[in-house]
Amino acid sequence: MSEDHYFSADPAVPFAREPLVAEAWGRRLALTSGSGVFARGRLDGGTAVLFRETEPPIGGRILDLGCGYGVIGLAIAACSPDAVVTGVDVNRRAVLLATENAATLGVSDRYAALTPDDVPADATYDEIWSNPPIRVGKQALHDLLLTWFARLAPDGRAVMVVGKNLGADSLQRWLGAQGYPTERLASAKGFRVLESRSA
């Protein structure tokens, strides 16, 4: 199975764990990734740009949208003791790996990885952080973002990293048109870091 199908709920490729070390906001995180999960065995280039070009949230309720093996949300939990983080992913392997990584890092009390159906219907978030699954297709991506951005608290924000060649600039314009004013925080190595404010 190609990595393009990391957004499958149950990847068909045999499950094999693969360790990696990720650098995030000055910390080294020893994590485990796996086959059938986005960025197996490595820190994705876009996520690396996200870490280099931002500062972690100070605290609050944080959603890691499309969490994969958990690196963004786990980095937030590791760096921000006052943050309570939910990682969400349709890929059950990703949820399993993120949960295991939270235990390894000792942040299970402030980090939970869930499938979308397991997230409480009334849950809201102060911030959403994401390297979103662009390759699901434009309509599916738009539906995903509108669904979860609707859970932003008043004065909340979303921070995303998106490849310029994958439509970052058009996505920025589209989000603004949906009532989520969006600005570019940074541009590096072919990626845009976008910040959207709640409607």
Sorted by sequence, the CB contacts under 8 Å of residue 51 that are 6+ apart come out as 23, 24, 25, 75
Across the chain, mean pLDDT equals 91
Distance CA 147, CA 153 (A): 13
How much is the pLDDT for 196? 98
- Domain range for 118: 3-197
Task: Provide φ and ψ at 183, rounded to 5°.
Answer: -125, 160
How much is the pLDDT for 134? 86
How much is the pLDDT for 183? 98
Low-confidence winner among 4-8, 32-36, 95-99, 138-142 (lowest mean pLDDT): 4-8
Distance CA 90, CA 189 (A): 28
Beta-strand ranges (E) seen in 57-145 are 59-65, 82-88, 111-114, 125-130
Q: Name which residue leads in pLDDT, 146 or 7.
A: 146
How much is the pLDDT for 14? 65
- What are the pLDDT digits (tens) for 163-199? 999 899 999 999 999 999 999 999 999 999 999 998 6
Q: Which residues of 30-49 are buried (b: 16+ CB within 10 A; e: fewer)?
A: ebbbbbbbbbbeebbbbbbb
- How many domains is the chain partitioned into structurally? 1
Residue 113, strand partner residues: 87
How much is the pLDDT for 10? 56
Q: How many CB atoms lie within 10 A of CB 167?
A: 16
How much is the pLDDT for 9? 52
- What are the pLDDT digits (tens) for 143-157? 999 999 999 999 999
Look at the block and give the residue holding tokens 């390759």: 135
- What are the pLDDT digits (tens) for 94-120? 999 999 999 999 999 999 999 999 999
Mean pLDDT of the region 128-147 = 93
Residue 87, strand partner residues: 64, 113
What Å distances lie between residue 109 and 14, 73, 103, 104, 144, CA to CA? 30, 13, 9, 12, 27
Are 34 and 40 a contacting pair, CB within 8 Å?
yes
How much is the pLDDT for 2? 39
Sorted by sequence, the CB contacts under 8 Å of residue 135 that are 6+ apart come out as 4, 7, 166
Look at the block and give the residue holding tokens 């589209």: 174
Which two tokens mark 69?
A: 């093996």
Which two tokens mark 148?
A: 């979860």
Q: What is the CATH number of the domain that holds 35?
A: 3.40.50.150
Q: What is the pTM of this model?
A: 0.92
